Amino acid sequence: MLRLRWPVVGAIGGVRWSAAAAGAVAMLLVGLGLGGATAASGAPSAPVPVRVLRAVPVPVKAVALTFDDGPSTAYTPEILSLLQQNAAKATFFVVGRELVRHPQLVRQEAEAGMEVGNHGFNHLSLRGMDPAAIQAEVKPVEQEITAITGNRPTLYRLPRGRSDPRALRALADLGYTVVAWNVDTQDYLPRTPQAIAQHVETQVRPGSIVIFHDGGGNRSATVAALRLLLPVLKQRGYQMVTVSQLLELATPTG
């Protein structure tokens, strides 16, 4: 079993990175000996790259805010309201069992211009799972998000950030880019709103991916922290965007 450290190689999303930029983008190409599809010639085709994104090199002050473990009737609407008040977009990685309970909240996220990503149906670590079990955890959420939003999700957030090469290969074969983070708010711990906001203010850089939570527990401190943080980021000239928008802003080379 492997706790990933997000090594960096290659390119992502069709964008090529310079050597300097590559230090900000984590993409793991895992050779697991599982093989790719067989081409008409009978030779195995090149495997789909396994993409693990930690941050994105961008030429502007932009940051991707992400929210895990929702939707939650207690906190998601408040967070959506705060984002809209501050002209901010974000990516919500939703848990399937919560999505089926509160589909209207996911619809509201999409209607507000937010991005909806996949966080698994039961919030399970994929470490040690075989591909069939991974598909059973991933595909029902994908189908529900697609039905609600009209867009098939292509971004996956690993619960607790844990996986192994076999799981990453399975996600890649299902068409997913895995989205990690480089700023952890640790809002799942008993922290004050001021501590959460100050941590992000000091750690965020252009191209950062920041992880918050809008479900899975008491997230009142997260909501209060966002009230403090979002105006500060705005004042500092940051665009607050979805992960896909951050990729669109990426600095290409060649």
164, 187, 213, 214: the catalytic one is 213
Per the annotation, the verdict on 184 as an active-site residue is: no
Dist. CA 22–CA 9, nearest whole Å: 7
CA 216-222-225 angle, to 5 degrees, is 175
The amino acid present at 150, given as its one-letter code, is G
Per the annotation, the verdict on 213 as an active-site residue is yes
**Residues 6 or more apart from 19 whose CB is under 8 A from it?**
none
CA distances from 159 to 8, 9, 250 (A): 21, 23, 26
Question: Of the listed 68, 69, 164, 187, which one is catalytic?
Answer: 68
* 53 touches 179 (CB < 8 A): yes
Give me the active site residues, please. Answer: 68, 213
